[in-house]
């Protein structure tokens, strides 16, 4: 089993349980370690699916409490940080957030592909059937590449997210994937195989096998993540994800402590 670095908790308003419950679940599932990586706060009230800025100290306290409750188990401090391109609200905030804790790792995610448009929010599902799916994918991947190039992140989160509701553009998807793979090689990030995708309309892990083939050929490392929003989902489908990773050719995964990457056999 591998570490699970993508787990949430009740602070983000759409997950259940406290970090210590996720740690207990990781132990029970036989994982070697866990990382807590809740959605990043924003400088001001921004949407309804993240902790408030005032709650940030509580986040750190809860992770500390989880460490104390499970002193025999490695609990890493992370965050799933929303990337915003230069000029957008939230861009300058990212570097401030970096100084606000002693992080083990950061997951870089793109949810917002334009101001007020979180691409994975069911509120906007109509935009896929009414609009140009290829254009939506292009908007997403353009920001995703900028996120990789920002070199703020150790792991890139759920690549391929706009497929969540099952809408994929026609044609060769490598057109969208290639710039991200090239940027990953140049800027040294790892990608997660995020097993939550199997439980969405797309019924496929994030990212697709095609993307995994490309990063494997380019020698870009992976982790396996559940994106758990309840303790029972920690390590969910990790056997299946590992099987796919092995089929693609991966033989190792990576772990992080204080930003330092360690290679571990898969």
Quick one: which segment of 83-91, 103-111, 132-140, 237-245 binds Zn ion (CB under 5 A)? 103-111
Q: Cα–Cα–Cα angle for 86, 91, 94, nearest 5°? A: 140
Quick one: which segment of 85-93, 109-117, 143-151, 195-203 binds Zn ion (CB under 5 A)? 109-117
At 222 the three-state DSSP class reads strand
Q: CB of 185: closest distance to Zn ion in angstroms?
A: 23
Q: 109 vs 208, which CB is nearer to Zn ion?
A: 109
CA dihedral (130, 132, 134, 140) positive or negative = negative
The residue with its CB nearest to Zn ion is: 109
H or E segment to which residue 252 belongs: strand 252-257
Rounded CA gap, 141 and 177, in Å? 8
Rounded CA gap, 57 and 121, in Å? 27
- Kindly tell me which residue out of 7, 109, 195, 255 binds Zn ion, with binding defined by CB under 5 A: 109
Interacting positions 120-159 with Zn ion (CB under 5 A)? none
Q: 73 vs 142, which CB is nearer to Zn ion?
A: 142
Rounded CA gap, 115 and 143, in Å? 12
Q: CB of 14: closest distance to Zn ion in angstroms?
A: 6
Position 205 contacts Zn ion (CB under 5 A):
no
Cis peptide before 99 (omega within 30 of 0): no
Q: CB of 174: closest distance to Zn ion in angstroms?
A: 23
Q: CB of 71: closest distance to Zn ion in angstroms?
A: 28
List interacting residues with Zn ion (CB under 5 A). Answer: 109
């Amino acid at each position: 089993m591998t570490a699970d670095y993508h787990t949430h908790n009740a602070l983000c308003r759409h997950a259940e349980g406290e970090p210590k419950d996720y740690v207990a679940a990781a132990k029970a599932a036989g994982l070697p370690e866990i990382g807590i990586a809740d959605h990043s706060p924003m400088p001001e009230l921004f949407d309804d699916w993240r902790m408030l800025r005032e709650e940030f100290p509580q986040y750190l306290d809860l992770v500390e409490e989880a460490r104390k409750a499970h002193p025999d188990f490695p609990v890493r401090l992370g965050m799933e940080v929303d990337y915003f391109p230069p000029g957008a609200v939230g861009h300058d905030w990212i570097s401030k957030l970096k100084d606000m804790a002693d992080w083990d790792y950061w997951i870089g995610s793109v949810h917002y592909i334009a101001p007020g448009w979180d691409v994975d929010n069911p509120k906007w599902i109509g935009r896929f059937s009414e609009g140009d799916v290829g254009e939506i994918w292009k908007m997403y991947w353009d920001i995703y590449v900028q996120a990789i190039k920002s070199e703020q992140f150790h792991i890139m989160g759920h690549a391929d997210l706009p497929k969540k509701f099952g809408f994929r553009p026609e044609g060769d998807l490598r057109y969208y994937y290639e710039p991200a793979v090239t940027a990953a090689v140049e800027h040294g990030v790892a990608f997660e195989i995020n097993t939550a995708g199997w439980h969405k309309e797309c019924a496929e892990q994030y990212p697709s096998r095609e993307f995994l083939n490309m990063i494997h050929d380019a020698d870009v490392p992976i982790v396996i993540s559940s994106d758990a929003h309840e303790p029972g989902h920690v390590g969910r489908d990790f056997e299946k994800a590992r099987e796919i990773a092995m089929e693609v050719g991966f033989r190792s995964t990576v772990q992080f402590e204080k930003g330092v990457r360690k290679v571990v056999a898969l």
